[in-house]
Amino acid sequence: MPEIKIIGAGLAGSEAALCLAEMGISVNLLEMRPLRMTPAHGTDLAAELVCSNSLKSDLLDTASGLLKEELRLLGSRLLPIARSCAVPAGHALAVDRLLFAQKVTQTLQNHPRIRITRQEVTELPVECSILCAGPLVSDSLARSLQEVVGESQLSFFDAIAPIVSAESIDSAKVYAKDRYDKGEPDYLNCAFTRGEYYRFVDALLEGEQHQAREFENEFFREVDFNYYENCTPIEELARRGRETLRHGVMRPMGLERDGMKPFAVLQLRAENKDRTAFNLVGCQTMLRYPEQQRIFRLIPGLERAEFLRFGSIHRNSYLNAPRVLAPNLTLRNARHIFVAGQLAGVEGYVECMGTGLLVAKIIGEGIGMLPPQTILGQIWRRLIDPEQKNFQPVNANFGILPALDDNVRDKKLKKQLYSKRSLEALRGFLEEDDG
Ligand SMILES: Cc1cc2nc3c(=O)[nH]c(=O)nc-3n(C[C@H](O)[C@H](O)[C@H](O)COP(=O)(O)OP(=O)(O)OC[C@H]3O[C@@H](n4cnc5c(N)ncnc54)[C@H](O)[C@@H]3O)c2cc1C
């Protein structure tokens, strides 16, 4: 097989490079640092963790713990390095970030089938390549990518609304109905009285926000949120006036219950076909996580909500993956370009490694779609499912997995069963693949 170009020696690029090289495939890893730095990286090292040093929980009854175990079974090269650089962090896998980046860089440099070229790539290559230039891809390359996929298919920030588990929603309080009863009643609705609505708005106005990094603040100052109305943080909408939400995203028109019009309504949209998780429509937010839990639990019906994912708004370049990616994670309009990492539409350090590993296995081994019971299999499906509307970057959470057959109520047991089912399916899949 000819040499594969990999653009970006971040988490996805380093994982892909090491996996391909171990499969006997030569790699040219192109990295622009230190010639050109990103606003978040501080070194010229590969796999630099730009913010937290945690790769999240290692427990198997968490989605991030399960994802790491799936990656281990699939042969991740970065995870063992991370473990060798672990620092005490309770149940989480946290690393000494400098040591981790140094060890990854050394491993790449010492590999006979990997050469590292320090160069800013400004156009998509014409040869078979993996694009993993990350959430802070340089401008020229982003423009070249836009020319291929279409300008509107590459976003420069994400605006994510929280997701809650279906079983934690108070079914006695919410009701299923689509606005003006058009089609099947897909949405669940949380109806507010006048008092509940103003209490919620006041809490939003007082809520403490996450502190963005300086370069993010600069970026957000330039973003016209009026233009990206669907991406405006809910607390910013509330700041425009106490009535703004109930005339906008929380308008009650067409959502009457028993002939009565509520004062305001917040809609919940199913996150998956099994309806095990729901997205709080319009609640993208920059509130701190504990504040989100406190404030969104003021929504009638969500008093005991279990948050599978919190909302966020970040500087982040990512593709509208379901519109532009083919099933094998190549660009539909440029079938020689594979995409991995944050640019492909995933979110999180381990998720980025996971897609790097996946693309390497697609190229090197022709691996087929992973079982639907696995976190990585579901992440892959989400990236290529053309039915997905309102695509937002995907991360590991149990809400993306199909429902269990048994109606288990105990939350901890349920998570353990998800993990057991996933790992059994993955082991079976890998044995079949070997056979
Ligand atoms: C500010 C910030 C903070 C984050 N914090 C966290 C966190 O705490 N926890 C978490 O799980 N996730 C976090 N993320 C999200 C994400 O998990 C990380 O950004 C992750 O490093 C992305 O991996 P990647 O491989 O896709 O990209 P990166 O690790 O960023 O690697 C991309 C590489 O491509 C290079 N590059 C870019 N353009 C070019 C070009 N034109 N030519 C050559 N090289 C190029 C870059 O220099 C970089 O080395 C954060 C993201 C950002 C932006």
Domain count, the chain: 2
**Closest to 62 (Cα-Cα) out of 383, 375, 382, 424:** 375
Q: Tell me what pLDDT residue 227 has.
A: 55
**Best of 64, 352, 359 for a ligand 1 pocket test (most atoms within 8 Å of beta carbon):** 352
219 Cβ contact list (under 8 Å, min separation 6): 156, 157, 315
Does residue 377's CB lie within 6 angstroms of at least one atom of ligand 1? no
- Atom 6 of ligand 1: nearest residue by CA position: 51
Residue 121 beta carbon below 6 angstroms from any ligand 1 atom = yes
Handedness of CA 119, 120, 122, 123 (dihedral sign): positive
Of 5, 6, 11, 220, which is best to mutate to test ligand 1, by the most ligand atoms within 8 angstroms of its C-beta? 11
Supply the pLDDT for residue 219.
81
Strands in 264-270's sheet, in edge-to-edge order, are 175-176, 188-192, 264-270, 277-280, 163-165, 307-309
Give me the pLDDT at residue 290, please.
96
In testing the pocket of ligand 1, which one of 14, 28, 30, 32 has its CB within 8 Å of the most ligand atoms? 32
CATH number of 88's domain: 3.50.50.60
| Ligand 1 atom nearest residue 122's Cα | 41
Asked if residue 7 has its Cβ within 6 Å of ligand 1, the reply is yes
Ligand 1 centroid – CA 429 distance (Å) = 31
Position 1 scores a pLDDT of: 87
Domain identity same for 214 and 282: yes
- In the prediction, which pLDDT does 40 show? 92
**Do 13 and 154 lie in a common domain?**
yes
Contact criterion met (CB below 8 Å) for 179 and 254: yes
Ligand 1 in reach of 84 Cβ (< 6 A): no
Per-residue pLDDT, 229? 63
Give pLDDT, residue 356: 98
| C-beta 100 within 6 A of ligand 1 | no
- With a cut of 70, which residues of the chain have pLDDT below it? 224-230, 435
CATH at residue 282: 2.40.30.260
Q: Look at residue 133 and give its three-state secondary structure.
A: coil
Pair 212, 279 in one domain: yes
pLDDT in tens, 97-133: 999 999 999 999 999 999 999 999 999 999 999 999 9
Q: What is the pLDDT of residue 185?
A: 84
The finding on whether 31 has its CB within 6 A of some atom of ligand 1 is yes
Residues 9 and 144 in one domain: yes
User: What's the rounded Cα separation, in Å, for the pair 195 and 129?
Assistant: 57
* Listed residues 256, 282, 310: the one ending a domain: 310
* Ordered DSSP codes for 253-309: TT--BTTB--SEEEEEEESSTT--EEEETT----B-HHHHHHHHTTSTT-TT--EEE
Residue 165: half-sphere exposure toward Cβ, Cα within 13 Å: 17
Domain hosting residue 242, numbered range: 163-310
Determine the pLDDT at residue 396. Answer: 97
Task: Kindly report the pTM of this predicted structure.
Answer: 0.91
Which pLDDT does position 435 carry in this prediction? Answer: 65
Q: Are residues 244 and 297 in the same domain?
A: yes
Let me know if 81 is exposed, middle or buried by CB neighbors in 10 A (0-12, 13-18, 19+): buried
The pLDDT of residue 390: 82
Cβ of 38 closer than 6 Å to ligand 1, yes or no, is yes
Neighbouring residues of 136: CB distance < 8 A, sequence distance ≥ 6: 38, 39, 40, 41, 315, 317
Residues 297 and 321 grouped into a single domain:
no
User: What strand order describes the sheet that includes 4-7?
Assistant: 114-118, 27-31, 4-7, 129-131, 334-339, 330-331
Measure the CA–CA gap between 395 and 346, rounded to whole angstroms: 6
pLDDT digits (tens, 9 = 90+) for 90-103: 999 999 999 999 99
Residue 305 sits in the same domain as residue 168 = yes
Residues 264, 217: one domain?
Answer: yes
Cβ(45) – ligand 1 distance below 6 Å: no
Query: Of 310, 334, 368, which marks where a domain is finished?
Result: 310
Q: Which two tokens stand for residue 161?
A: 């609304």
Distance 10 CA to ligand 1 centre (A): 6
Question: What would the two tokens of residue 369 be?
Answer: 């779609």
Taking alpha carbons only, the member of 32, 132, 143, 146 closest to residue 78 is: 132
> 25 and 142: one domain?
yes
Domain stop point among 256, 284, 310:
310
Q: Do residue 17 and residue 144 come from a single domain?
A: yes
Q: From ligand 1's centre to the CA of 288, what distance in Å?
A: 22
Q: Whose CA is nearest to atom 12 of ligand 1?
A: 348
Strand 86-87, strand 92-95: pairing: antiparallel
Task: Say yes or no: 154 and 223 in one domain.
Answer: no
User: 139 and 242 in one domain?
Assistant: no
What pLDDT sits at residue 182?
78
